[in-house]
Structures are given as structure tokens and as C-alpha cells.
A and B are shown apart, each in its own frame.
Chain A
């Protein structure tokens, strides 16, 4: 490579010429991120709250789920869902398989966040809601979970970034996300640095936007909480 600097400026144009598929890839990555984040969030709450259930069988099932999805690698789970399950007649298209694998995997990590958040709420809050004769559902819905959420948000924010990064792995099961598109550009133009550099920057921008959003949400929740505490005192 005789002149790296001028060479790159020149080749960048060639990569930018592929902008339609880069945009498609970005959209796929965002869809994948949003759908699996929703699934992961739902699983986090179900499994996390099951961990503190009164019934032993529920707790054990939750632990099995947690250890299973946290213990085996995300890539292995993805391949299992996409390549092995069809042999038992369970077919998923690539996007669904990716969403299920990412959602289940991050859901396991998220359940620990939910459990930690709920346990961080003081015992007196449980006793107070018992004294108010709240049913378990009301106790969690109105007393425990609203106080646990501000504790959970920063960690959920970190997990969201992990989730975004995991979507790149989904390109290996033929989902045409950003990473997949970068490969197409690499094969078509024989350029290596440029396509990957471009998508790295796109990933970084998406992640930074997510970090900002989580920051804003965290501030909103903690502000509400301060007012509540101030009102109580």
C-alpha cells in the first residue's frame, strides 16, 4: 500500500457508495437490538422474580434457566436454535432465532439485575406493605418494584450495550445485519479496513445513543425518587 492516507480517502468513497446496504444493515441491527431487548427485559423480570418465589420448584427452575443460558456460550445457543432445532421440526427464520438466542441469553444476565434490585429494597418496605394488607401482587407492583427500578437502570444500561454487541454475532447465522453487510462490501470491493471501520463507527454511534438514553432515563427515575424521599422526610 504505497500511500495509506490518500488511499483511504479514495477507498472510503467506494464504501460509502454501498450506503443502501449499510442503511439496511443498520436497520436490521436496530430491529434485532430492540426486539431482543424487549424479550430480554421480559425474561429478566419473570426469571428474576421467580428467584425469590415462595415455591421451591419455581426457584429451582429459575436457577436452572439462569445457569443454562449464562453458562453456555451465546454463539453456541444461537447455532443450536438455528441449526439443531430444525432437526426436531422446530423451524425459525434467522431473525427469530437470533432474537430468541440473544433475548434468552441476556435475559439470564438481566434476571440477576432484577433479583439484586428487588433484594436491595429494604426489609421494612416489605413489612410496611404487609401491614397495609397488600396482596403479594400489589406489594410488588406498588411498593417493591417502583423502588427497585432506579437501582436496576444503570446495570440494565450496561447489559443493553452488551446486547447490541451480541447482535453482531447474529451475522454468523446469516442475519443480514451491519456485520454481514460489511462482509458483502469486503467481498465485492476487496477492501478490508474501510468497511469494518465504517461499521465500527456506526456501532459506536448506536451504542453512544443508547448510553445517552439510559442516562436520561436514570436521571428521570432518580429525580422522582429524591422528591419522594424529600416528601417523606
Chain B
């Protein structure tokens, strides 16, 4: 079995379409993960013990169970209850919710790292809850969070092939469809792997650089 450039060029247009879906899924899912994660992190600091316990076990449940099964649940079960989403929407929702439990930890750590004096200062300025978060806490908490959040973006990008299991035609499924109809497995699958490497290695290096930069600023 030898590499054939003919097959490689033949499959490229379909892969290109898949790439677009992969990128869209990554962007939408990561935005969802960031927004939800911040929400969860703030709610986890609530005064109500019951809310904290419920949130803790809900997020742990999501974190300790496979994304693939969660995808199946949303994709196969929701239609039974009359809720019809496109496969893409299901996939993005699950990815976003799953990783929001991870980003919530990043946000929580970032918020915890803001010195207590800042909270007291905000109080002494007679800021209300909203102003405290918006003007004092978040501007200080967010910069150190950027590198880990960037890392989760890369992780989410690498998890998108799972969406193929619920019929989203992203990069991986596009290659798989081609493979199954042409019985050519080597070229499509290799190209998918190469594409992931091309994107994730430079972005990993970028994330590392970000990390170094923000560390220096702290000192």
C-alpha cells in the first residue's frame, strides 16, 4: 500500500469542507464553555451550601463520564421529548457544557488568586456586587487565566472528531466517508492527522509563550 497523491488531491476538497465545520464547532463550543464556565465558577462561590453541593456533584458527574456517551444522550434522547436539534447543535452543546466544567476550575482558581484586600477595597468604595466583579475582580483575575483557557481551546479542537459519531460531517467524518466509498484509508486518515498536527503544534507553542509572558508580568 503506497501513498498516492492522486487520492490525496481527490479527497482534499471534501476535507476542506470538513475543516470549516471543525473550526466552527471549536469556536462556538469554546465560547459556550467560557461563558458557562465563568457562570459555574461564580455560582460555586455562592453562599448557599445546597447550591454549592448540587453544582459540585453535577460538574463532577459531567467530568467523570465520557463525552461520547453524553453526545449520544443528547443526540438520541432529546428527539424523544420533542426537542429537535441539528447534529451540529447537539455536538457543540455537549462539547461546550463538558468543557465548561473544566474552564470553571480555571476561572475559580483565577478568582481565588485575587487578593482578599481587593474585595475589601471594592466594598469600601461602596461598589455593588456587579461593579465589584466588573471593575475590580475580573480585570485582575482574567490575564493569568488566558494560557490555561487557550490550552482548553486546543483540547476542544482535538475532541471535535467525536462529533463524527453523531453524524456531524466535520473533518474526520468527511475523511471516513471518502474512505468507505473509495476503499482508500491511508491518504484521508493521514491528511486528517497531519491537519490536526499543523494546527495544534503551533497553537501549543503559542500557548506556552503566552504562559511565559503572563508569568513574567506577575513577577
8 Å CB contacts to A: which residues of B70-108? 70, 72-73, 76-77, 80-81
Q: Which residues of B contact A71 (CB under 8 A)?
A: 158, 196-197, 200-201, 204
Which of A67, A167, A196, A204 contacts B61 (CB under 8 A)?
A204
Which of A67, A179, A192, A208 contacts B201 (CB under 8 A)?
A67
When C-beta atoms are compared, the residue in chain B nearest to A202 turns out to be B65
A49 at the interface (CB under 8 A from B): no
Most chain B Cβ neighbours within 10 Å, of A1, A72, A182, A199 = A72
When C-beta atoms are compared, the residue in chain A nearest to B193 turns out to be A72
Q: Is the CB of A168 within 8 A of B204?
A: no
What's the nearest-Cβ distance from chain B to residue A207, in Å?
A: 4
Q: By the criterion of a CB under 8 Å from any partner CB, how many residues of chain A are at the interface?
A: 42
Q: Is the CB of A73 within 8 A of B158?
A: yes
8 Å CB contacts to B: which residues of A43-99? 67-68, 70-77, 79-80, 83-84, 87-88
State the main secondary structure of chain A at its contact with B: helix
State the main secondary structure of chain B at its contact with A: helix
Q: Which residues of B contact A193 (CB under 8 A)?
A: 73, 77, 80
Which of A1, A68, A183, A208 contacts B80 (CB under 8 A)?
A1
B56 at the interface (CB under 8 A from A): no
B34 at the interface (CB under 8 A from A): no
Q: Is the CB of A203 within 8 A of B196?
A: no
When C-beta atoms are compared, the residue in chain B nearest to A80 turns out to be B189
A39 at the interface (CB under 8 A from B): no
CA distance A168 to B98 in the complex (A): 15
B66 at the interface (CB under 8 A from A): yes
Among B7-15, B141-149, B159-167, the stretch in contact with A = B159-167
Q: Is the CB of B204 within 8 A of A165?
A: no
When C-beta atoms are compared, the residue in chain B nearest to A197 turns out to be B73
Which of A164, A165, A196 contacts B72 (CB under 8 A)?
A196
Could you write out 10 A-B pairs with CB less than 8 Å apart? A73-B158, A73-B160, A75-B161, A75-B162, A83-B179, A87-B185, A166-B66, A168-B69, A172-B68, A196-B76
Q: Which residues of B contact A (CB under 8 A)?
A: 1, 61, 63-70, 72-73, 76-77, 80-81, 158-162, 164-165, 172, 176, 179, 185-186, 189-190, 192-194, 196-197, 200-201, 204
Given contacts A72-B197, A87-B185, A199-B69, 8 further A-B contacts (CB under 8 A): A71-B201, A73-B160, A79-B172, A84-B185, A167-B66, A172-B68, A193-B73, A196-B77
